[in-house]
Amino acid sequence: VSRPVPKPGSSLRLTLVAIHPGRSPQSVPLAAAFLAAAVTAAFAEAVTVTILDLYTDQSAEECARLVRETQPDLAGFSVYLWNRSLCCAVAGILKRETPPLTLFCGGPEATADQQQLLAEAPWDFLIHGDGETPLVAAVRLLLGGREPAAAAGVATLPAGLLQSNPATPLKELDELPSPLLSGVLEPSRYAGMLWQISRGCSFNCDFCFDAGGSRQVRRFSVQRLEEELRWLVQQRVSQVFVLDSTFNSDKARAVAILRLIRKIAPAIHFHFEVRSEFLDREQANLFASITCSLQIGLQSGSSGVLQSVGRRFNRADFVSKVNLLNEAGAIFGFDLIYGLPGDSLAGFRASLDFALGLMPNHLDIFPLALLPGTKLAARAAELQLVHLPAPPYTLLASPAFPAAELAIAGRLAEACDIFYSRGKAVSWFLTLLAPLQLPPSELLLRFAAYLGDKRGAADALDDSAIFALQTGFIATLYAAPGAKRLLPLALDLVTYNHHYAAALMAVPPQPLSKKGLARLRMAELQPQLAPSARLADFSYDILKLLEVESGDLKQMAKLLSPAASLAVIYPHGGEIRTETLHPAYGRLLERLDGRRSVAAVATELGMPLADAVEFVTFALGEGIVVLPGNNQ
């Protein structure tokens, strides 16, 4: 097969393929963009680079057709756990149908599992480690009509024998052209943006790729990050996923970056991964002062289990650091893994109880995956960890965690995701548990049983469907004689927080000025309830309930008497407001539909027109109702 050597005046066409696990704000081809920026900087017009976004729900045939449509001479795939088999299938089709096309792969799976991945598909070469310098070297060889196999950082499999050239280490990450500043990414095509601020990890957890064995962390300079931050603001990016597996391991640098964010990009939502042991009050306050959420890799609540995979864990220190976040009002979540060596169903439930007792905003739970190239995968047989041989390499059974119990843990994980994380239960979860004297994992196990066949496709459940499941389940939980009298109070708390969270996420309408309101002929207007405003019925006076809310349902029940109320909950001026309404005004709001006039609805309800006009004037000023065309 002849290699592509562009004719004088034409250019080599390189397509970099990113196959994403789904369509989400994190589905950004950042690795491809780093490569594209490096190749473009090295060769300018001599190489035409295309970045192609594909998704794992597309067939191999469709992916291959879309790659071919870019008419590449050279095509590279970023291979991860979730796309390995699809990448290999696409490479097989491309090589069969377009033999002169040169194919290569890179990414974490390529680095960790070179021989096996090269054997799995007709790759011409594989790039391991940092991909930019090896790819530039390989393209230079190709442009000269030579084989790329000689490039540093490139591996091939001639006659089934691995030939892997050591990579030339990058001295400084800043040597790499920025994938953001170089313009190779078009941010308006993506719902979010990835922002890599370091590479590597100084920890060495046995189950993880990121440590890469060297425990070396390299960081982009704060000066470069500041330029990228300004670019993110200019490009109106709304949310950024910070790629640094231990953002706060260098405390001074973390504080400097957080201050920059507060100054330059206060409107962008950032997601960070942090280590609890490095948290302090200053960081907690800074995290709370910007728009962000933190993810902390707890993995297990058992120090014995964590020790067995190379992690140290001081439970008391963890609790005190998380308390700093709670005191500051920072938003955070934990990762948990079930099935680590020594873990069992009882151990996982204890981890779940420990984690939820610390009031995280969300909990992301995964089964153990034995990733090729990690220390744990190498010890799998010795530890009798039976796992899928192919991606996602999930644990199937271990001596302490038989398959049937792993299945129960999986159901618990799903129940936690729906009921707690997506159900935004953090503000009331422990309050509801206390009178029932149930540990969190027991409640979730019962919710898993309640879900049964009600849930349909778990991924497709929207906020309203989850709210209906939560309230239905809570009604069954509180059906017991001792708890029954607390049910209305429990449901009021859940209902209020559901609507509050929805109002918080909603975009408020443009407020009308007093002058603007005064000019309107109110009785003739045809307003409607704003999409950002929520009307809700309660069994108690919701404002009094909020005043006495203490985390203790029994105590609250002593202080309050049932008194039905109707409230509207809505965003206004950067806060969420709650107004209780006379039922007549509630009916007025329900009937205002954007088609009938205020006067007509007032007549229907038998309400004096002056009262209706006064209320609608107030509601328009607050953004509770909007005029059609001004409801954003």
When binding is defined by CB under 6 A, the residue of 205, 217, 490, 501 that contacts ligand SF4 is: 205
| Residue 201 or 525 with smaller CB distance to ligand SF4 | 201
- Where does this chain touch ligand SF4 (CB under 6 A) — which range of 114-122, 123-131, 200-208, 410-418? 200-208
Opening angle at CA 558, ends 556 and 563, nearest 5: 80
Residue 477 Cα distances to 436, 472, 473, 481, angstroms: 8, 9, 6, 11
Is 208 among the residues that bind ligand SF4 (CB under 6 A)? yes
The token duo for 241 is 């996923």
The footprint of ligand SF4 on residues 268-327 (CB under 6 A) is 297
- Alpha helix (H) residue ranges in 30-154: 30-43, 60-69, 84-97, 108-112, 114-120, 132-143
Is 565 among the residues that bind ligand SF4 (CB under 6 A)? no
- Where does this chain touch ligand SF4 (CB under 6 A) — which range of 204-212, 263-271, 392-400, 404-412? 204-212
Is 201 among the residues that bind ligand SF4 (CB under 6 A)? yes
When binding is defined by CB under 6 A, the residue of 246, 276, 431, 532 that contacts ligand SF4 is: 246
Is 211 among the residues that bind ligand SF4 (CB under 6 A)? yes
Is 203 among the residues that bind ligand SF4 (CB under 6 A)? yes
User: For 58-67, which contacts have Cβ atoms below 8 Å and span 24 or more sequence positions?
Assistant: 60/86, 60/89, 60/90, 60/92, 60/93, 61/93, 63/17, 63/19, 63/90, 64/90, 64/93, 64/94, 64/97, 67/15, 67/17, 67/94
Is 361 among the residues that bind ligand SF4 (CB under 6 A)? no
| Residue 94 or 217 with smaller CB distance to ligand SF4 | 217
| Residue 205 or 356 with smaller CB distance to ligand SF4 | 205
Is 586 among the residues that bind ligand SF4 (CB under 6 A)? no
The token duo for 191 is 């719902």
Give the integer Cα–Cα distance in Å for 3 and 143. 9
Is 419 among the residues that bind ligand SF4 (CB under 6 A)? no
Give the integer Cα–Cα distance in Å for 562 and 628. 37
Give the integer Cα–Cα distance in Å for 41 and 183. 11
Residue type, 275: R
Distance of CA 260 to the CA centre of its chain: 23
The token duo for 140 is 């230079």
When binding is defined by CB under 6 A, the residue of 53, 147, 174, 210 that contacts ligand SF4 is: 210
| Residue 23 or 312 with smaller CB distance to ligand SF4 | 312
| Residue 117 or 208 with smaller CB distance to ligand SF4 | 208
- Where does this chain touch ligand SF4 (CB under 6 A) — which range of 196-204, 233-241, 360-368, 467-475? 196-204
Residue type, 396: L
- Where does this chain touch ligand SF4 (CB under 6 A) — which range of 202-210, 355-363, 491-499, 550-558? 202-210
Is 341 among the residues that bind ligand SF4 (CB under 6 A)? no
Residue found by looking up tokens 């597309």 in the block? 58
Question: Which residues of the chain form contacts with ligand SF4 (CB under 6 A)?
Answer: 201, 203-205, 208, 210-211, 245-246, 297
